[in-house]
Structure 1
């Protein structure tokens, strides 16, 4: 992978970042003697980062494959495997340095009470051809078979993996508003139910819900069943709703965060671009860290790791906070802003500004 070429393209294509009034661009080292802002700049002494993850998932590949690149920066990572609620609490307490977080009502509540907790590096998303997302049971959702309207969703069960505080819930609500009569459907008119990810497809086949969020490999189960139809466009592709978050323990350690982000960017560009499972070395390394059979891993559709490192936070700021507030899920009064949730200094420093 030509990292330098991708970097040049990203810089040319991107405008300014978000609110960077506290930008450390003038105080952080931007490049090595080669002039490449992605080139390793080893820290003066080895630093250990304590990072919380829920499990060994392909969406965490950039971190799981970054060991060698982190070593070039003189960084060692200690992973703590625990549930999202637990790891997020630990990062607010300073007992973990970083954690994977998502654009959820719960996480927004945490940020509102902990201003030192912010995203620094984006996570993976679904590629354009993905059929992971919402599927509808046609006979339950729209039995007449006519034009689908927003009113068809009123009072009908919508299954999500993470409940109504999740990104998928506000994305569904926003999509419903685009249908005929969408302005008449309020967030509280929709019935969301958190459901076991392994059972959503079966529930849809049995007509137990009108729509449901289906993840791989269960989407393949529905693609061959005429009962159900993929709802294209509900969950945007190539648009992350997650990322790595740092906490208060990283305050005053900006050089360490910058080195970490550099290593993550190099790993993403070198190892995780489209077709990454066709590379034998990457596939083997990924199978090892995920503790999966190589053939099984290859059979699962690839994720999308954005080579321009965009945050895609805007829909969560508008649609997300509006939806969650209407359903009584937010514990703060004033909506959070982009700079409340994201610290773009590090992506800016390595040449990846956010698109305006």
Structure 2
């Protein structure tokens, strides 16, 4: 897409930043792909930014509503396709590589509608077909990270496959155990943990899946400090795909309703990543995810614990757990342990 350098005074709501806007001190003020609104434009003017790079003809106001219905329908079809593939595995049948590749390509084709999909996922309620939707979501989030790491298209398709297939080993585990409400016993948890190796074994029987995909399925629960499973591998012993899928997996799990646990908001997930997550996840991959993913939450409607509904108008890249919310004509900065707090996305 063509990029243009324009005066901040010529920016319009809906324009999309094409290059990171950097302060004199090297801080990112507005990340690439951020959709501009009146608050952000005013802020850039106030701090002395004179020009920015935007994508030509990038205003998304009309395109959002035009695309949303089509993309949501496509997402649901992809979840159904994953369910069909996984059910074949659960029944002891073989599945065709071309089915997985088609699913990966379907997810890849949503690159130009990232905001639509992310906001839809934030609004989803319930946990029907969680295993299958989770697999699609992890493929989607993995793609988002890989894209910002400047992976080639062919590698992105492989990475999406790794994300979609990361939990395929769970098809060999009793569904009643997978959906158990309440705390697992130590023995039950050890059984759950075998899904990584079971998934690797399923893929290892096919020559179509590269070693990076197979290792991501095997190692997506490994952590850089050695606290993960199944092998306790550390930093350099964990492949790039596995490091990416690990972050996508945990983020989606935390922000989804599950049979045994309610979802948290994206900002609560960010908080975890920026505290305990710094010692367990690859920090370079994590930073790429957090800074770039957070820009796609701008414009979302949120329910506050005061009962009010507001709109996210800005997320400071260096304070991503403290979004700026507009409620009517008032702007509020959300801070930890102080009211108001975001309860949910609407």
- The TM-score, its normalising length taken from structure 2, stands at 0.26
Where relative contact order (Cα < 8 A, 6+ residues apart) is larger, the structure is: 1
Normalised TM-score (structure 1) = 0.26
